[in-house]
């Protein structure tokens, strides 16, 4: 089998695989409303001779984590036709993707899982949880009388992406793993859709400064029209109140609306009646360490004491991660070198659990309770906790 870039003459077959995997209810298509060449990222495929077994797409993201800028490839569009399934081809595709990432020098990757248990078995771990609010527009009517109500709304488009970038940076301050959106990403993934483009409006304060925006679609459902906000960014509380006021003013057009937000419940506290708002916690994307030694060495650890410990990692796909390592922390930096596997390792963990601790989704204490992370010495627990304190994680972009 051979893993390689998608050949130009296999574009239509790639589209067929994706449509069958994610939209089988639409039936076979004679034409497609989207072209892979117009999308950000690069397609890959696994071949057996001339037979294309499965496909995927890689997005070359940059992200922020613990004060560092990191490359974080996004893995997407993993698809295999029914006649090639249950033969281990997708697992091989994932392993080859990790090898490509490692060869690039990447230490972390992310994906949105179609099936969490499958990807957990392959070494990925949940990165965060997020909140979906759903309500009638009138449940947000309190914003009209709020003391912060004011300013102006206006349509916005992708030509303003640089101004929107500054709003997004303010909205995501304090959250980890937000991606750096490129111009192509703004144009092709935020302001464009597979079949219909979304609406987009910005909110400007009294002095004309753009401080909030939202991107949304109106969907016709069996119980009426629903306005779904796919991207909601407010630089501060004033902008947030006014964006909610904008949504409330759709009460004559839609029956329901939904908003995706970080893991919080403050909208329930602001509402006149919190029972009018449904608040559901949803799983976010999954993350995975690509290269364990390089990942330890990629970050700074200003609060960690000078210390050393051994960690034994199990990895079902990447043999370069599967083994024992000696981690030494000195002066806020770490080195990580392979060592002989030792039954007396200070830390024993799957790559999945270690990935969750690395990005801050779990504290070390929570990971010991909820995952297979086994920290066997107090000194190692103290060092690991200082290196990787729990953080707020919110990668808002779907891919």
Task: Give domain 287-387's CATH superfamily.
Answer: SCP2 sterol-binding domain (3.30.1050.10)
Q: Where are the beta strands (DSSP E) in 40-194?
A: 42-48, 51-65, 68-79, 108-111, 125-126, 129-135, 152-155
Q: What is the largest CA-CA distance in the chain?
A: 68
Burial 63-80 (b: 16+ CB within 10 A, else e): bbbbeeebbbbbbbbbbb
Contact present, 54 and 80 (Cβ < 8 Å): yes
Do 137 and 193 touch, CB atoms closer than 8 A?
no
Q: What is 2-106's CATH number, 3.40.630.30, 3.40.50.300, 3.30.360.10, 3.40.190.10?
A: 3.40.630.30
Residue 79 and residue 21 in contact, taking contact as beta carbons nearer than 8 Å: yes
State the pLDDT at residue 164. Answer: 98
CA distance 139 to 136: 6
SS3 annotation, 305-353: CCEEEEEEEECCCCCCCCEEEEEEEECCEEEEEEECCCCCCCEEEEHHH
Q: Which CATH fold would you assign to the domain 130-283?
A: Aminopeptidase (3.40.630)
Residue 132 DSSP SS3: strand
Q: Encode pLDDT of 214-256 as tens digits.
A: 999 999 998 899 999 999 999 999 999 999 999 999 999 999 9
CB count within 10 Å of CB 357 equals 26
Distance CA 314, CA 291 (A): 12
34 vs 118, residue with greater confidence: 118
What are 22-66's pLDDT values in tens digits?
Answer: 989 989 988 887 788 888 999 999 999 999 999 999 999 999 999
pLDDT of residue 195 exceeding 80: no
Same fold, 2-106 and 130-283: yes
* Stretch among 19-28, 58-67, 136-145, 277-286 having the lowest mean pLDDT: 19-28
- Give me the residue spans of the domains in the chain: 2-106, 130-283, 287-387
State how far the Cα of 283 lies from the Cα of 398, in Å rounded to an integer: 12
pLDDT of residue 167: 98
Count CB atoms within 10 A of the CB of residue 186: 20
Residues 317-352 have pLDDT tens digits of: 999 999 999 999 999 999 999 999 777 899 999 999
What is the percent of the chain with per-residue pLDDT over 90, rounded to a whole number?
A: 94
Mean pLDDT of 382-390: 98
Tell me the average pLDDT across 270-285: 97
Whether 103 has a pLDDT exceeding 80, the answer reads: yes
């Amino acid at each position: 089998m051979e893993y390689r870039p998608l050949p130009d003459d296999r574009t239509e077959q790639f589209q067929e695989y994706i449509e069958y995997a994610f939209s089988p209810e639409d039936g076979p298509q004679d034409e497609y409303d989207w072209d892979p060449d117009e999308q950000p990222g690069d397609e890959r495929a696994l071949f057996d001779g001339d037979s294309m077994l499965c496909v995927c797409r890689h997005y070359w993201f940059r992200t922020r984590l613990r004060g560092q800028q990191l490359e974080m490839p996004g893995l997407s569009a993993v698809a295999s036709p029914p006649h090639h399934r249950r033969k281990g081809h997708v697992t091989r595709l994932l392993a080859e993707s990790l090898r490509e990432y490692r060869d690039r020098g990447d230490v972390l990757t992310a994906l949105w899982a179609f099936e969490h248990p499958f990807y957990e078995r392959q070494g990925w771990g949940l990165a965060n949880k997020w909140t979906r609010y759903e309500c009638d527009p009138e449940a947000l009517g309190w914003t009209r009388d709020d003391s912060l109500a004011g300013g102006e709304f206006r349509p916005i488009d992708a030509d303003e992406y640089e101004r929107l970038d500054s709003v997004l940076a303010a909205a995501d301050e304090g959250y980890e793993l937000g991606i750096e959106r490129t111009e192509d990403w703004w144009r092709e993934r935020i302001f464009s859709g597979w079949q219909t483009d979304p609406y987009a409006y910005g909110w400007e304060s009294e002095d004309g400064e753009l401080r909030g925006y939202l991107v949304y679609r109106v969907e016709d459902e069996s119980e009426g029209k629903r306005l779904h906000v796919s991207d909601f960014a407010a630089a501060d509380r004033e902008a947030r109140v006014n964006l909610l006021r904008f949504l409330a003013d759709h009460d004559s057009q839609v029956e329901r609306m939904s908003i995706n937000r970080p893991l919080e419940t403050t909208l329930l506290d602001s509402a006149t009646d919190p029972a009018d708002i449904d608040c559901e916690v949803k799983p976010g994307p999954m993350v995975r360490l690509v290269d364990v030694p390089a990942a330890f060495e990629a970050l700074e650890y200003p609060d960690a004491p000078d210390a050393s410990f051994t960690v034994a990692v199990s990895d079902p796909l990447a043999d370069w991660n599967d083994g024992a390592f000696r981690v030494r922390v000195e002066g806020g930096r770490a080195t990580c070198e392979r060592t002989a596997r030792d039954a007396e390792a200070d830390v024993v963990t799957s790559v999945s659990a270690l990935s969750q601790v690395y990005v801050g989704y779990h504290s070390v204490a929570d990971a010991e309770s909820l995952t297979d992370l086994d920290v066997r010495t107090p000194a190692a627990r103290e060092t690991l906790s200082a290196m990787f304190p729990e953080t707020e994680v919110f990668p808002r972009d779907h891919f």
